[in-house]
Chains A and B, each alone.
Chain A
Amino acid sequence: MLTYAPTSGASVWEVFGFGPEGVASVSAKAATASDGASVFYNPGGLALGRGTQIELSGTGMLSWLETQGTTQPIHDPTGGSLAVATDVPLEGPLADRLRVGFGAYALPSKLMRLQMRPGTDPFFPYYDNRTQRLTVIPAIAFRPARWVGVGVGANVLAGVSGPVDVREGQSRGLETLIQQDVRTVAAWVAGLRVAPVPELDLALTFRQSFGVPFHVLTTANVAGVPLRVEVDTAEALYDPAVVVVAGAVQPSDRLRLEVDGSWSRWSAWRGPLLSIDTTVSALSLASHSPEGLFRDTWAVRGAGQWWFAQSADARLGAIVGVGYETSMLDTTVRQGRTNFIDGPKLMVGAGTTARFPGLVGRALSLSVGAQWQRVAATAQDKQVCTSVPCAPDTLVGPDTDRPGEGISNPGYPTLRGHGGVFVLSAGARVEL
């Protein structure tokens, strides 16, 4: 089921950036990436690159996110990325116009981890269970003119649906009939890149939202008693639809500056919780996920790359980046049983790159990048139910006669959270 999601989307790159340069520049790369990382940042930029680039990098994360006085770790905090971009050697009208790219992120020991928390757990849904999975994006890009590139990539996803039936079989024991289908789901990444003059690049990127659909309807019949359990999550491992508009200028051979603005449609998310609908021996129960908690976010990111030292054998550059993103949680909406936490984020990145022409292939580049994401402190006072029936945005204790007493919700009386995440990435790129 969950186990059958062999591939998924762009989460690690969406949250922290692709490779050391992406991490250092806080993902302000949509108007400058033309290597393998462009499959994520802007497939249109892929078309404006040349030759073959292969980059291997490793990324590690360290969390200081804190809720209710407890640090929230990021599980499986290390992984490796592969980025490949190459020309398609065609002749005739397609000569020098077509390029392909491939980006992948893999955890060291597992394909993925799917973790859906109980509804009362305090956690940061923006960071929780978004980076623990394989990511694969192949892309193709076309250059209709020397200064225009268009490209498209596909996040190939998989979801599960199907029936499960359990009953006593001819063996007089439990026998199961399960027909679960793991179907492909594709989410698109599309990009347009325009370079009207050599010193200016403009970019537009759209990344389709995606999640891992999972829906299992279980039925059983024992001695005439029907049983039904429906477990559903339409959007596990969710990433929202994103639109990025970016511009970059290169005032000199040594300096390049970029500013990106992005909009992420978090308001379409149905939330990080499992939906359960059961009927067991005439007892029907259903979970109720809160609605209207998530809102769209806006972000602005800026980065600069400065080649500060240059010789015939080597070129050394520095990258700095800074960004800000609004919270994906609407703090004006009071939560009941749930304890989701998020806040505005400040991102600061820095890194360095050393390029050695002719050392391996056309050039070998070694890069390292670091990023600090700071989540502003947030707090929300919980409201206690005073009389039954209770409103969904209130907390209730075990006793119907005294619903405001004995509340054990971990977010009571005040839900608090803040903290940060430190990310470090290092890699090597070969140009052929």
Chain B
Amino acid sequence: MRRVGRRGAMLAACAVMLAGTRTSRATSPLLFGYGPQSTALVQSDLASTDPAASAYTNPASAYEPGTRLLAGHAYTWTSLTIDDRAMPLRGIAGTDLAFQLGRRVGRQWQIGGAVAAHLPDESLAQVSFRPGSEPSFVRFEPSTQRAVADAVLAARYAVLSAGAGVSVLADARGDVRFLLGQDGNGTYADGSTNVELPYRLAPLVGVGVDLGPVGLAGRFRGAQAVGLDLSTRADVSVTGNPLNGTTLVTVAGQSGYAPATWDIGARWNPSRKLRLTGALQLARWSRAPSNTADVAMQVRLGLSPGQMEASFVRPSLRDTLSPRWGVTWATELADRPVELRAGYAFSPSPVPEQTGLTTWADAPAHIVGLGVGAGLGQAWGVALRADVAAQLWMLRTRTFDKPSDVLPFAHYRAGGHLFDVSVAMEAAWR
């Protein structure tokens, strides 16, 4: 009982500290694209970016002359299963807000800037640590529950354009202390915190070449993760209590990793009405740190051992190479310009075979997108456009067989679907 109580105090300290950590730093746009155009074209639009969404999709397109404001919303229905049982995933939904401003500054030069934000509906971010041995869809659960804030500047000279900016994140470091003490009047509790959030900036770089009917583009988004270095100190000093002493628990690690991505893309307009787009994305999942924080506990309660540490190996995820294709058909409907869009992509799984305690679930996916955009004419001097798109992820059913039956979840199957719908209104001053 005495030992259990001490351990309980340690756990409580650990839990309070972990509550002070933040995670889940990948993004919904990383999976589905930013805005309806990118969603319909399954992110094959690198060389044919909507300028309003350029801060996220390709910074090199932020030079486009004019002023654009985009407001949209995306919602995803999920149907992911493990062993044919539904794995309830928190609703993936959020609002997109983007702004882009570009100007001509000479015969050959154009400059501009853009910002883009994605704000999840339910919360700005979700701190989510699951027990390592429990099944989880590592690509989808943490990846869709945080806000995005990107800002870029761009310039174009002749046929070449380039843009760069940052995606703004924050680390977390500091300490939480609580004291359970006693004075002449009885017991009391006291606490203090000193936690700070230093900036973490992930680089965004894009380049483009516009050769008329043909365009080429490249993009780099830096890896995103949140560094944690937080400690909780619990001091218990109550007369006659077996828990008296100090427990210091430190959690450090990288949480909610979103990989660096290298993209190349191309656009070809074989006719005035038809546009074909393609892209290839390399996602550096192999650089992913352990998705479980290292924990160190220093216990000065007279226990032996007085220090316990737990650290976890890197997850050895695999880099993925994802090809994407899109087609856009421009036409008119009731004298208004209309674009019909479709896309297909294949997304390999970064999750290797599971051989230990972890029970990660994931599978390669076929991705299909459809969408339409229509000009709505002028209102109060502003050109308005509406876009809507849908994207379907079909995960191939994948069977995991761990090498030993005594391991938790030794055999399981993972698969399912995701269905994302995105709508947006765009206002433009030219």
**Which residues in chain B, 382-430, are within 8 Å of chain A measured between CB atoms?**
382, 408, 429
**B170 engages A176 (CB within 8 Å):** no
Q: How far is the CA of A225 from the CA of B6 in the complex (A)?
A: 11
Q: Is B332 an interface residue (CB 8 A)?
A: no
Residue of B16, B124, B128, B242 with highest tally of chain A CB at under 10 A: B124
Interface check B274, CB cutoff 8 A: no
Q: Total contacts A to B, CB within 8 angstroms?
A: 261
Taken together as a complex, chains A and B put the C-alpha atoms of A389 and B178 apart, in Å, by 24
Q: Is B19 an interface residue (CB 8 A)?
A: yes
Contact B190 A118 (CB under 8 A): yes
Is B316 interfacial (CB-CB < 8 Å)? no
Smallest CB-CB separation from A284: which chain B residue? B187
Q: Is the CB of B185 within 8 A of A3?
A: no
Check if B15 sits within 8 Å of A182, measured CB to CB.
no
Q: Is B77 located at the chain interface by the 8 A CB criterion?
A: no
Contacts of B49 in A (CB 8 A): none
Q: Which residues of B contact A4 (CB under 8 A)?
A: 22, 124-125, 127
Contact A178–B197 (Cβ < 8 Å): no
Q: How far is the CA of A115 from the CA of B177 in the complex (A)?
A: 11
Report whether B191 and A171 are in contact in the complex, using a CB–CB cutoff of 8 Å: no
Whether B380 pairs with A92 at a CB distance below 8 angstroms is yes
The answer to whether B331 has its CB under 8 Å from any CB of chain A is no
Q: Does B243 contact A (CB under 8 A)?
A: yes
Residue B157 lies at the interface, judged by CB distance under 8 Å to chain A:
no
- The 8 sampled A-B contact pairs (Cβ below 8 Å) are A114-B174, A118-B191, A121-B192, A164-B18, A176-B18, A177-B134, A337-B188, A403-B185
Could you say which residues of chain A place their CB within 8 Å of the CB of B132?
169, 171, 175
Cβ of A90 < 8 Å from any Cβ of B? Answer: yes
Give chain A interface residues in 263-277, CB to chain B under 8 Å: 273-274, 276-277
Tell me the B residues contacting A by CB distance below 8 Å. 1, 4-5, 7-9, 11-12, 14-16, 18-22, 119, 122-134, 147, 170, 172, 174, 176-180, 182-199, 230, 236, 238, 241-243, 295, 310, 357, 380-382, 408, 429
Which of B14, B22, B193, B199 interacts with A110 by CB under 8 Å?
B199
The residue in chain B whose Cβ has the minimal distance to the Cβ of A233 is B193
Any B CB within 8 A of the CB of A62: no
**A3 pairs with B195, CB closer than 8 A:** yes
Query: A332 interface residue, CB < 8 Å from B?
Result: no
User: A118-B192, A182-B123 known; A385 and B184 CB under 8 Å?
Assistant: yes
Q: What is the CB-to-nearest-CB distance from A202 to chain B, in angstroms, rounded to a whole number?
A: 30
In the assembled complex, the Cα of A89 lies from the Cα of B427 at a distance in Å of: 12
Q: In the bound complex, what is the Cα–Cα distance between A384 and B91 (angstroms)?
A: 56
Pick the interface stretch among A40-48, A316-324, A392-400, A413-421.
A392-400
**Are the CB atoms of B198 and A6 closer together than 8 Å?**
no
Q: Which residue of A lies closest to B168 (CB)?
A: A111
Question: How far is B359's CA from A170's CA once the two chains are assembled, in angstroms?
Answer: 11
Are B9 and A111 closer than 8 Å at their CB atoms? Answer: no
Q: Are A89 and B172 in contact (CB under 8 A)?
A: no
Q: Which of A12-20, A214-222, A251-259, A303-311 contacts B (4 or more CB under 8 A)?
A: A214-222
Partner pick for B123 among A120, A171, A184, A287, CB 8 A cutoff: A184
In the complex, what residues of B have CB within 8 A of residue A281's CB? Answer: 4-5, 8-9, 242-243
A3 contacts B129, CB within 8 Å?
Answer: no
Q: Are the C-beta atoms of B380 and A94 separated by less than 8 Å?
A: yes
Residues of B within 8 A of A222 (CB): 4, 7-8, 11
Contact: A276 with B191, CB < 8 Å? yes
CA distance A274 to B191 in the complex (A): 6
Q: Which residues on A sit within 8 Å (CB–CB) of B243?
A: 280-281, 283
B13, closest chain A residue (CB): A229
Flag if B191 contacts A113 (CB, 8 Å).
no
Q: Say whether B357 contacts A171, CB under 8 Å.
A: yes
Are B198 and A111 in contact, with the CB atoms below 8 A? Answer: yes
Q: Which residues of B contact A385 (CB under 8 A)?
A: 184-185
Q: Contact at A276–B190, with CB atoms within 8 Å?
A: yes
Q: With CB as the reference atom, state the residue of chain B lying closest to A274.
A: B191
CB-CB < 8 A to B123: which residues of A? 181-184
Distance of A123 Cα from B18 Cα, bound (Å): 28
- CB <8 Å contact, B184 and A179: no
Chain B residues with Cβ below 8 Å from A90 are 380-382
* Alpha-carbon distance between A218 and B16 when the two chains are bound, in angstroms: 6
Cβ of B19 and Cβ of A1 under 8 Å apart? yes
Cα separation A116 to B193 with both chains bound (whole Å): 5
The 8 A-B pairs of least Cβ separation, nearest first, read A91-B381, A180-B127, A175-B131, A3-B172, A281-B5, A403-B184, A274-B191, A170-B408
Report yes or no: A177 in contact with B129, Cβ–Cβ below 8 A: yes
